[in-house]
Structure 1
Amino acid sequence: MAWEGILAALASAIMLGGAPILAKLAYRDGADPATVVILRSGIAALALWALYLIHPRWRRYLYIYPVGLLGCLAVGFTNALGSIFYYMGLYRLDAAVAHLIYSMYPVLVAVITHLNGEPVPGWTRVRILMAGLGVGLLLGRFQGMPDPLGVILVLLSSGLYALHVVLSQRVLYEMPAQTLTLYALTATAAFTPVAGWAMGNARASVPTAALGPIAAMAGVLMLSRLTMFLGVKRLGGVQTALLTVLEILVTVGLAVGFLGERLTLVQWLGALLMIASVMLIARESPRAPVPRWRMPLLPPAD
């Protein structure tokens, strides 16, 4: 049902909102970005395989057909590369700044979806505009130019995450969300060390104090990907991306509480606009769009 998708997308947003704060804690304890991403992905994939193998009801999701596996590999690869870019950018930027830049991905999802031939309803366009204006107001207090390389890395990550959402929507036309989660996350864990090595060598050892935040990030990754894919399957990529703007508010709220940042009145107005954008889902018919795919990765659905 559509409301199951809405709840799944909101749960994913709440969990993902805490990931940048956990990463910052791991950095403070001496971990480097490549190590954080590699361990986070690997632990999450291993935990997911253990769950599927142990739980009798979940073993049926182990089945996958060859073309579907290729789709999962594509989803996992874009996610792995985007994660490396994001956490390297986060290392150079404040958590709130990085995640606010990253939050442009709902707009990019809408653009990619529209280029693919799917219509963007009027209320969805209003919500995109409100979310974008909210992000702009939230960015209002930051003075000066953030680290340019950090900004570029986070922008690349945002684009790759948007592509990852759109690709997952296509794969989910023919596959349960649980199956996509398992194999896409496994592909992410496999590709991440290669991407991490290319972007910057991970350290051979990890400070003991950093293991707690990294393990928490792995749990967030595993559960948030499962709920996000459930949302995409029932709502489509654009609606899910718009609902997950809530994660920005979670990140900013945690940054205020744990990292000592403060919001101005203008920024609170931006936060209210973003909340209103999420609430306007009630004005739409939240359901996944009919398959319409122009990219050659997978054949059209029957």
Structure 2
Amino acid sequence: MSKSKVCLILSAFIYGFAPILAKFAYKSGANGITLTFLRTFLMLPLLFFIMIFRKVSFKLTKKELIDIILLGVVGGSFSMISLYAAYDYISTGLATTLHFIYPLIIVITSAVVYKEKIKKIKLLAVMLVTLGMFMFVDLNNTADKIGVILAILSGIFYSFYVVYMYRSKLDEMDYIKLTFYLMIIMSIGTYIFGLTTDSLVFAEMDYKAWILSVAISLIITLGAVPLFQVGVRCEGASTAGIVSAFEPITSIILGAIFLGETMGLVQYIGGGLIILGVVLAEKYG
């Protein structure tokens, strides 16, 4: 297995672990919008000093600035707000599963819009992953419709994030520099949304919620985000989308262990299909 695919799997594991911490933060007074803002805002000072220490230039071209704003607002803020808000309505496993409609959207977009030639084996892989994802969905018994809609929207926005990062060549920028500017844009966007919807609840959070918020921000900003950027740069958008399907499996397994969220036979089969799809993409895609 290539190092870049290992990066994607590690990134997926971290992203899959974050919702578990988020659920505990919610129990301590946080909510999805507040946690989304803190996830991006809290790491800005650390990223700033890392850039100074590594002597990375803060300069951006006009094109880079426009691309980062578009990527941060549409692909970043909208995706995170939708997903973390979905956690307030439905289980972490279901929300993350629905979010993962994005590999299918990425492959379709790459083929239709950008005329990328998609190998049959990669198409089979994304179909297996998508089918596996929806085997986790039980709309009649477990899902709040608002949560379902929010989770699907998060996947649509995130597919834009992956495709646009790759096509705009932003993935070739220094990963700390890109992450720093994306966090600025995403924190501003989320804060404005939180103010306008009166959904920022800093005063209601106890010390556990703050500790968990810092932990989530740290592992995603310095772990998941740069690892994913490396994977997209080396493997391309469509392969990155498929391999990162390990995220919902991580979220579902850890949700069962730490939160008591249950899985049935159909869900186990769905997990098997996801793993099969990822293996096919890794071996032959």
Provide the TM-score with structure 1 as the length reference: 0.86
Match of 2:164 among 167, 170, 174: 167
Partner of 2:124: 126
Match of 2:107 among 77, 86, 110: 110
Query: For 1:94-243, what aligned pairs fall within 5 Å after superposition?
Result: 94-116=91-113, 117-139=115-137, 143-144=140-141, 146-172=143-169, 175-178=172-175, 179-205=177-203, 206-222=205-221, 223-243=223-243
Query: For 1:14-93, what aligned pairs fall within 5 Å after superposition?
Result: 14-54=13-53, 56=54, 59-60=55-56, 62-78=58-74, 79-93=76-90
Give, in whole Å, the separation in 2 of the partners of 1:255 and 1:282.
26
SS class of match (1:60): coil
Give, in whole Å, the separation in 2 of the partners of 1:153 and 1:282.
30
Q: 1:113 to 1:61 in 2, by over 3 A?
A: farther
Give, in whole Å, the separation in 2 of the partners of 1:95 and 1:174.
28
Count of residue pairs the alignment pairs up: 280
Partner of 1:11: 10
Worse-matched range after superposition: 235-244 or 180-189: 180-189
SS class of match (1:91): coil
User: Conserved in 2, the CA contact under 8 Å of 1:41 and 1:221?
Assistant: no
Q: Deviations over 1:41-72 (max 9, x none)?
A: 10133322222222x3xx23544322112111
RMSD of aligned alpha carbons: 2.0
Q: Which residues of structure 2 form unaligned runs of 5+?
A: none
Give, in whole Å, the separation in 2 of the partners of 1:174 and 1:168.
6
TM-aligned CA deviation for residue 259 of structure 1: 0.6
Query: Where do 4+ consecutive residues of structure 1 move more than 4 Å?
Result: none
Question: Identity over aligned residues, as a percent?
Answer: 22
SS class of match (1:273): helix
TM-aligned CA deviation for residue 228 of structure 1: 0.8
Q: Which residues of structure 1 form unaligned runs of 5+?
A: 286-302
TM-aligned CA deviation for residue 110 of structure 1: 1.4
Q: 1:250 to 1:259 in 2, by over 3 A?
A: same
